[in-house]
Every structure is written in structure tokens, then in C-alpha cells.
């Protein structure tokens, strides 16, 4: 099965082509001005470099968040359009799951923390074997200490922003992971989607926001009586 995977839920754009018998062909790079104009050209570049054509794709996997509201929408819309054009299956993968799976195997629990703006993070706690211990959450960084009870590996772009706060709140329970583990990799996303297929439990490619977007909050405030 050939899988095309895309993730634009953080400031890093990652796309990959994999099958079950070859090494992944992957491109990941930081984006400065948004993902909208770069995603399709990068996908075209990926096909020009890899051993597959678009008609070879059996499954498209997309990171559905939590993360950047705009980035999630861009990836989801692109993946949906490609799946319709190519007539292939579409699967959604939690961005926090992708980041956590990229750090396995681990000797200790893993906690990805993604910048959620508004001095908050999106996070989820995982056992050392990758099984989630909590749902995806939207918390203030200092509240993470109430969730984490033992030494835990912290990864994600929230580490850079809230390193001192997390270290102060958690003490020896805070262990910072290396930066190459901080961002979702499309090759990991693709293999996570393949595991969904093998279990017969494909997740829908619907954005996972965890908290309402600013636009939704503004609309709510405009309602009569709000």
C-alpha cells in the first residue's frame, strides 16, 4: 500500500511518500508565511523525487491537529481534494499522536506540547509504549504539572516557549527531548495511518481543534444575549 502523508499543523510543513517495503521519501521544512502556497508544489516535488506516481497512491493521511487552525484546514482541504481526484482512501491522524510516535521507543512517558497561542499549549500524555493516557488537552503550561506524575519526556514547539515554566512546575519530572523530535514527521504520520488500516479503524480526516477558534469565539460573542 502506497501512502501519501501531509501535515501542516505546526510551523513545519512535512510531506512523505511511503510503502510497506521501501524507505520513506520525505520533505520537511519550516514555513515563514503560511502553508497555503507551498503545500501543493512540495507534494509535486515529492512525486518528482520518489519512485511513485500519483496514480500509485492507495491512502492519503493527513494531520488533523490540534495545532494551527489555518494550517489544519489547509492540510485537510488539500488531502480531501487529492483523495477525491485520485479515488483513494483518506485517513486523519492526531498531530500529538504523530509527534509522540516519533519519539518511540521510550523508557519513560512522553508528553508532546504544541503552542496553542494565548499562553496555552495543546498536549497529551502517552505511556512509554505509545498508548495515550489522557485525551488531547488545551492547558496553561503550569497546569501540566497536575497531569504528569513521574519523569516524562517533553517534546514539541511548546518546549521552547515554556521551558522555564515547565521546568519550574515539574522539577525532576521534566526531561526535555531533542529538537529533532519536536515536530510531526509525515513519514511517522503515514505509518500511524497504516496501523489504522491494519486495525480496520480509519479515523475521519476532520480538524481536531480541542478549543474553539478565534473566529468561532467572535461569532459566539455576536449572538443576541451573549
- C-alpha dist (Å) from residue 78 to 38, 108, 224: 11, 36, 36
pLDDT for residue 89: 96
Total of domains in the chain? 2
Identify the CA nearest to 74 among candidates 104, 35, 102. 35
Identify the CA nearest to 72 among candidates 215, 206, 218. 206
pLDDT for residue 64: 97
Judge if 37 and 55 occupy the same domain: yes
Judge if 133 and 164 occupy the same domain: yes
Range of the domain at 155: 103-181
Judge if 75 and 7 occupy the same domain: yes
Give the global pTM. 0.91
User: Residue 155: beta bridge partners?
Assistant: 112
Structural domain contains residue 30: yes
Structural domain contains residue 217: no
- For residues 16 and 221, give the distance between their C-alpha atoms in angstroms, rounded to a whole number: 40
Judge if 60 and 25 occupy the same domain: yes
pLDDT for residue 34: 63
Structural domain contains residue 226: no
Judge if 149 and 115 occupy the same domain: yes
Judge if 189 and 177 occupy the same domain: no
Q: Please give the average pLDDT of every successive group of 10 residues along the chain, which has 226 residues.
A: 96 93 88 74 93 94 95 95 96 98 97 96 98 96 95 98 96 97 97 94 94 52 54
Q: Specify the CATH number for the domain of residue 152.
A: 3.30.420.40
Judge if 175 and 124 occupy the same domain: yes
**Cα angle 162-179-19, degrees, rounded to a multiple of 5:** 130
Judge if 129 and 151 occupy the same domain: yes
CA atoms within 13 A on the CB side of 48: 6
Structural domain contains residue 225: no
Amino acid at each position: 500500500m502506497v501512502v501519501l502523508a501531509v501535515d501542516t499543523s505546526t510551523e513545519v510543513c512535512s510531506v512523505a511518500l511511503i510503502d510497506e517495503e521501501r524507505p520513506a521519501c520525505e520533505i520537511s521544512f519550516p514555513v515563514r508565511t503560511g502553508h497555503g502556497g507551498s503545500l501543493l508544489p512540495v507534494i509535486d516535488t515529492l512525486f518528482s523525487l520518489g519512485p511513485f506516481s500519483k496514480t500509485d497512491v492507495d491512502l492519503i493521511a493527513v494531520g488533523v491537529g490540534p495545532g494551527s487552525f489555518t494550517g489544519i484546514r489547509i492540510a485537510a482541504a488539500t488531502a480531501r481534494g487529492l483523495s477525491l481526484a485520485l479515488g483513494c482512501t483518506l485517513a486523519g491522524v492526531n498531530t500529538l499522536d504523530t509527534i509522540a510516535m516519533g519519539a518511540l521507543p521510550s523508557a519513560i512517558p512522553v508528553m508532546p506540547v504544541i503552542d496553542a497561542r494565548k499562553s496555552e499549549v495543546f498536549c497529551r500524555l502517552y505511556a512509554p509504549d505509545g498508548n495515550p493516557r489522557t485525551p488531547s488537552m488545551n492547558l496553561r503550561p503550569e497546569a501540566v504539572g497536575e497531569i504528569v506524575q513521574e519523569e516524562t519526556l517533553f517534546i514539541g514547539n511548546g518546549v521552547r516557549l515554556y521551558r522555564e515554566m515547565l521546568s519550574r512546575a515539574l522539577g525532576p519530572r521534566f526531561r526535555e527531548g531533542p529538537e529533532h523530535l519536536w515536530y510531526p514527521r509525515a513519514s511517522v504520520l503515514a505509518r500511524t495511518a497504516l496501523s489504522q488500516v491494519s486495525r480496520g479503524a480509519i479515523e475521519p480526516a476532520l480538524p481536531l481543534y480541542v478549543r474553539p477558534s478565534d473566529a468561532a469565539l467572535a461569532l459566539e460573542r455576536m449572538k443576541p444575549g451573549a
